[in-house]
Amino acid sequence: MAEAAESPGDPGTTSPRPLFAGLSDISISQDIPIEGEITIPVRSRSRESDSSTLNESVRNTIMRDLKAVGKKFMHVLYPRKSNTLLRDWDLWGPLILCVTLALMLQRGSVDGEKDGGPQFAEVFVIVWFGAVTITLNSKLLGGNISFFQSLCVLGYCILPLTVAMLVCRLVLLADPGPVNFMVRLFVVIVMFVWSIVASTAFLADSQPPNRKALAVYPVFLFYFVISWMILTFTPQ
Amino acid sequence: MAAADGLAFHEFEEATNLLAETPDAATTSKSDQLTPKGHVVVAVGSGGSYGVEEEVEEEGDKTALLQEEKPQPGFWTFSYYQSFFDVDTSQVLDRIKGSLLPWPGHNFVRHHLRNRPDLYGPFWICATLAFVLAVTGNLTLVLAQRRDPSVHYSPQFHKVTVAGITIYCYAWLVPLALWGFLRWRKGIRERMGPYTFLETVCIYGYSLFVFIPTVVLWLIPVPWLQWLFGALALTLSAAGLVFTLWPVVREDTRLVAAVLLSTVVVLHALLAMGCKLYFFQPLPPEHIAPPSQATSLPPNILLTPTMTRSMATS
């Protein structure tokens, strides 16, 4: 069969003797009528693997997404100049981080008055609208990063501050005092610097060179506000 | 470009070369100042050094014309808004410096904006000022609690909302009113056109920058020093506004000019005082009861006189 395929049966051949004259009388398999082009076997195999993600178990799908999110967390914690965060952006990580942060931050020090820490909705709005504003700002300044890539990077770089929130929560279980405050201040400052360094490593390259500072300053303001919310959190 | 050969030969050579590149162009002499895009200008003047200068001039003419000829993108396109963010870091810093040091003859719009207003400065200066107000207001409460443990500390997050709304309303609605008023008066006099809306927003936005370091300095818990810093910032800021508005207002009648400028200064002073009194509530040094927090401030700045009165009486 392969030999028959190799001879293309070109209509333009001027050989007087038909090469495979008797071949048409041979039927390869009585059951399957072969007609149409003979495809390369590799292509049919890949078509099978495409449809196989539809048939895989739910556990596989979830684990694949979780692994992608985890890999991006590692990229944020050890920021190198890699393109993984930008190329395969997703918004699961930012959502998980934002919800965790908002749940932990909500209504610190409830006294029945209007004073108090931010509500869940306030944290959520600040994080998402802040990220959207910074993205719009960098795009308006002429950056060549796409909208969702930028949201993805800004959301993932909240991870150090979420870790800082967890540490602060644990430290606040101890007795309050100036030492308590200094430890929390130190942790929050370190994580704030880490967030800025991580997001700048990903975002700064996409800006025109004479506007980098203009694009990075709102990122600084954004993480500063989140750090202040974390630092001023006092449990009731 | 120009060689030592006979100029006539050189001219035609150049012209033919250039014409070969742009076949549908026509040659004109240099005396023709308006050079539309499709035309090729050949240096007819003598001397080689003319070439470079003329190129620069032509570039300037061409780019000026290009800016006029380019069709303005509609307001629903992204590039329309991109034209308002067409600034570099150095330009923004230069504009901030210009607002910090007002000078009587030095018009902010003409010297620093150079008729290219931007929205980056006003927007992010207002955002920074709002957050700095809320953060330092909270920090004064922390410092007060250290001095006097009976003072009750709370994060006071609602102040962020109040600060944001106040600053943004002031920095965008007051320029709108000012611009509308100046345009209305434009019909009375013909000489100098008023500023565009964006330029007015820029003036106000950059003039608010001086309050950012002032607010940080208000952390120092010495009352007369706080009022001194406030007065200094208000003077600088209002002077910047007045010097920029003066050329536009000076041709109007004396009464209108005086009323307008004094309204501008008074509104600015109200903003500064309102922020000082609301976010930095003065705590007397003796042992006091926990300060009663004001109910949330209505976002309209015109109500601050009533608020300051209630502060004084509470």
**ipTM, interface predicted TM-score of the complex:** 0.72
Residue A123 lies in a domain: yes
Give the residue on B whose Cα is nearest the Cα of A212: B89
Distance set, CA B28 to CA B21, B41, B138, B289 (Å): 16, 6, 69, 85
Q: How far apart are CA A114 and CA B293, in angstroms?
A: 9
DSSP per residue over A61-128, as a string? Answer: HHHHHHHHHHHHHHHHHS--S-SHHHHT--SHHHHHHHHHHHHHHTTSS--SSS-SS--HHHHHHHHH
Distance set, CA B275 to CA A146, B7, B78 (Å): 39, 72, 36
Is B46's pLDDT higher than 50? no
Is A45's pLDDT higher than 90? no
What average pLDDT does this structure show over A10-15? 50
* Counted domains in chain A: 1
Is B107's pLDDT higher than 80? no
Is B4's pLDDT higher than 60? no
Residue A52 lies in a domain: no
| CA A194 and chain centroid, separation | 19
Q: How far is A145 from chain B (nearest CA, A)?
A: 15
Rg (CA), chain A: 30
Beta bridge partners of B27: B40
Residue A116 lies in a domain: yes
Residue A118 lies in a domain: yes
Q: A 122-151 residues with CB below 8 A of B?
A: 122, 137, 139-142
Positive or negative torsion for Cα B299, B197, B113, B78: positive
Quickly state the pLDDT bin for B131 (edges 50, 70, 90).
Answer: very high
Q: Which residues on chain A are in Cβ contact (under 8 Å) with B127?
A: 218, 221
Angle, CA of B8, B11 and B17, to the nearest 5°:
140
Q: Looking up tokens 């607002």, which residue turns up?
A: B99
Give the residue on B whose Cα is nearest the Cα of A217: B124
List the structure tokens of B130: 């709002």
pLDDT at residue A42, as a whole number? 57
Is there a contact between A183 and A171 (Cβ–Cβ < 8 Å)? yes
Is there a contact between A231 and B153 (Cβ–Cβ < 8 Å)? no
Residue A217: how many other CB atoms lie within 10 Å: 17
| CA B88 and chain centroid, separation | 14
Q: How far apart are CA A195 and CA A213, in angstroms?
A: 16
Q: Does B16 touch chain A if contact means CB atoms closer than 8 Å?
A: no
Residue A32 lies in a domain: no
- The predicted-structure confidence for B24-45, as pLDDT tens digits, reads as follows 555 554 444 444 444 444 444 4
Which residue segment(s) compose the domain that A128 sits in?
86-231
pLDDT at residue B77, as a whole number? 83
Q: How far apart are CA B56 and CA B59, in angstroms?
A: 5
Q: How far is B214 from chain A (nearest CA, A)?
A: 18
Residue A34 lies in a domain: no
Q: Which residues on chain A are in Cβ contact (under 8 Å) with B135?
A: 228
Q: Which residues on chain B are in Cβ contact (under 8 Å) with A181?
A: none
Quickly state the pLDDT bin for B289 (edges 50, 70, 90).
Answer: very low
Q: Looking up tokens 């700002």, which residue turns up?
A: A137
- The share of chain B scoring above pLDDT 90, in percent, equals 19
Q: Looking up tokens 């109040």, which residue turns up?
A: B162
Residue B209 CB burial class (10 angstroms; 0-12, 13-18, ≥19): buried
- The predicted-structure confidence for A202-226, as pLDDT tens digits, reads as follows 888 888 888 888 889 999 999 999 9
pLDDT at residue B83, as a whole number? 84
Q: Does B77 touch chain A if contact means CB atoms closer than 8 Å?
A: no
Is A116–B90 a contact, with Cβ atoms under 8 angstroms apart?
no
Residue A57 lies in a domain: no
